Amino acid sequence: MDPANLLILALLVVALVVPFLALVRRANELFVLDVQGGKVEVLRGRLPPALLRDLRDVLRDVPRATVTARVEGGRPMVRAEGLSEPVLQRVRNVVGRFQKGQLKGR
């Protein structure tokens, strides 16, 4: 196979694999929040009103952050960019009060 065809084949594989991996990653995603100036916006997913209210309370003094919750090992796991460890732990505690079924498919 000549180098030009090999390059085309490699680009085609990448073009097909990357969207597939993004779909698989999103399949486990429960929600994504964007925090700017203490205001919380739900970018993806649906949250029970009580959870959203409690998260807004925890995040009200955060200048900028992104919070993502995914199902990992059958449990909701929270990751964030822009949060201190104590605030992230508070977020995890709030999310941990809810069952996976309460978060997914709402």
Q: What pLDDT does 106 receive? A: 39
Cα angle for residues 68, 74, 79 (degrees, 5° grid): 20
Would you call 81 helix, strand, or coil by DSSP? strand
76 vs 47: CA distance, rounded Å: 13
- Report the DSSP beta bridge partners of residue 44: 32
- Cβ atoms within 10 Å of 88's Cβ, excluding its own: 18
Read off the pLDDT band of 46 (50, 70, 90).
confident
For the chain, what is the mean pLDDT? 85
User: Per residue in 2-45, pLDDT tens?
Assistant: 888 888 887 777 777 666 555 555 568 899 999 999 999 999 99
Q: What pLDDT does 105 receive? A: 44
pTM exceeds cut of 0.85: no
